[in-house]
Chain A
């Protein structure tokens, strides 16, 4: 009998072409996703006189620079989109451009098109590629040189990371979401807590999550230092994929293969962490690293109480304009943002709309669906109307205000409650103050005009 294997090992071994003496593997890449930011890699390819080795496995999408609010497009933004279009045409790559009904954020459209499947190795020049691991895929972000390498060879050199499992057992309390699970473990273990590891999420509280929620959880793996996050595929996964445009024609045969994709019962992990889901509250960040997060019921911590993290916390509070001891519930916000590859899917919009229906936002805000498909669905379901009735702006699909490359920026000194993934200094704009939280918590902040616990607002709303 062969030794028990982790899901990571199974996925790794299925893609390993060869291993060098030093243990580095050459891995086969099943799907390569490119976006406007891949221009450096295409330039490198041209410089080397190389062609794209496998255009049928390469897909392009306009997302990082996608305009979401109409009006004139700045020339340098236009140029980024045009360049991607030219590169896609030159190399015969299927491109989801702005006109395409399937356009959206790369980590939203991969799954919704069925390009993301269990058992695949998926790379993209974007750190949130870990999202696709929610399907039981080996998915990780790469830099431009690696993008060029994959374009040229359809392979990547990589050292097998250590295996880590985070088990969430028990029941997630009402009003608490996958976003809170992620911020909770990152606060617990640190923004580099899982460095060098691939994280498999397991336990009863993960099994009961929808695919959208699993994607949120895997998406944020990189914020805890892990390049890869994954969840073993199950009936929820197969159900999500069955009718997708690029789903396998012989779906049952595929599903039979995919059923083997889970960690064996006796598989040994290099590191195991257990978290009781019942202990998790709606969580918000107060600083400038995702690890600087706390339950909404807590106060801004005193830096001196944080040991080796005190100096960072002091700088964070200075940047964020917050004082130690201030209750988080009550910190006034200037604006809100709902969207991104972390929380821009239909379920995220439904959760936010559930809070907002029949209520008005006290502060301005932007809602950018994760894809054009999500946008249409949200409009059909009446969610878009709920957002606009509440006073929020309903925009087009793209990365938008998560990273601000398209010009959707938070002004310096302004405080934004945001359903995104990074509260880094300057991430949403120079001097912008970002608080990360779930879409439902963002909606609650919009209604209250300050950070607040969403749970009372959900009472009587199913």
Chain B
């Protein structure tokens, strides 16, 4: 996965709280191989048949969403759908914890903004698209005429910028892991499953 530190593109507002991962990608699409692309599944059942849905008219890199975005199921496919659609950053007042972790593992920025700013951005964007610029290193963004700073966990920032993968990061600790494993099962033999 390649990292990114700045992006310029379009932002679109997705109205409403609790856009959960079942909406982001309905379960029936999840048996498909990723290689075929998941972008077409994004918000499929919400979008298809709703002529006015902004994602039927725009292909934004940035989304402004309501609180509790990405709540629910741990399905990483919800992030695949966003990323394959071309989205690289989502700003919302709050995110599902598992979604937020999945996002960073796939190069998607999920950044928290307060309700007030969120409402202002949504109003500025209306049903259309607005120009957006996001600077990861500086932790700032300019969207539809609003300049603002956002906070981001430093490790998440590092992972996004470098396109890092945890498996790489963990490799250097294998000795410690092996040592821990030995000590754990020696001290707590019950923790090892009884062979059947």
Contacts and interface: CB of A to CB of B under 8 A. Distances in A.
Contacts of A250: 189-190
B71 to A, nearest CB: 6
Given A227-B98, A426-B26, A149 B167 contact: yes
Interface in A77-115: 77, 79-80, 94, 114-115
Interface stretch (A118-126, A200-208, A294-302): A118-126
A249 B191 CA distance: 11
B22 interface: yes
Contact of B106 (A127, A145, A159): A145
Nearest to B99: A143
B194 interface: yes
Given A17-B176, A117-B191, A192-B71, A76 B31 contact: yes
A248 B190 contact: yes
B74 A422 contact: no
A403 B177 contact: no
Nearest to A56: B193
A154 B190 CA distance: 18
B90 interface: no
B105 interface: yes
Interface in B45-88: 45-46, 66-68, 71-77, 79
Interface stretch (B12-20, B127-135, B138-146): B12-20
B34 to A, nearest CB: 6
Contacts of A157: 166, 169-170
Contacts of A145: 76, 102, 105-106, 165-166
B3 interface: no
A153 B191 contact: no
A144 B76 contact: yes
B100 to A, nearest CB: 9
A17 B94 CA distance: 30
A142 B68 contact: no
A440 interface: no
A80 B34 CA distance: 14
Nearest to B22: A424
Contacts of A267: none
Given A17-B177, A119-B188, A141 B98 contact: yes
Interface string B103-119: 00110000000010000
B102 A426 contact: no
Given A125-B74, A143-B105, A405 B27 contact: yes
B76 A191 contact: no
Contact of B74 (A48, A80, A141): A141
B31 A80 contact: yes
A22 B155 contact: yes
A154 B188 CA distance: 17
Given A157-B170, A425-B23, A246 B72 contact: no
Interface residues of A, number: 82
A326 interface: no
A153 B101 contact: no
Contacts of B106: 145
A155 B175 CA distance: 13
B26 to A, nearest CB: 6
Contacts of A191: 18, 68, 71
Contact of A152 (B75, B77, B167, B193): B167
A426 B94 contact: no
Interface in A130-166: 141-146, 148-149, 152-155, 157, 159, 161
A422 B34 contact: no
Contact of A77 (B31, B99, B169, B189): B31
B180 interface: yes
A422 B23 CA distance: 12
Given A57-B193, A225-B68, A40 B76 contact: yes
Contact of B98 (A31, A142, A155, A245): A142
Contacts of B153: 22, 159
A211 to B, nearest CB: 18
A248 B31 contact: no
B27 A48 contact: no
Interface of B: 15-18, 20, 22-23, 26-28, 30-32, 34, 45-46, 66-68, 71-77, 79, 94-99, 101-102, 105-106, 115, 153-155, 165-167, 169-170, 173-174, 176-177, 180-181, 184, 188-194, 196
Closest 4 CB pairs of A and B: A254-B190, A143-B102, A248-B190, A145-B105
9 contacts: A17-B173, A17-B177, A48-B167, A191-B18, A222-B98, A245-B194, A249-B194, A253-B190, A425-B46
Given A119-B188, A154-B181, 7 more contacts: A30-B191, A144-B76, A148-B167, A225-B97, A246-B193, A312-B17, A405-B28
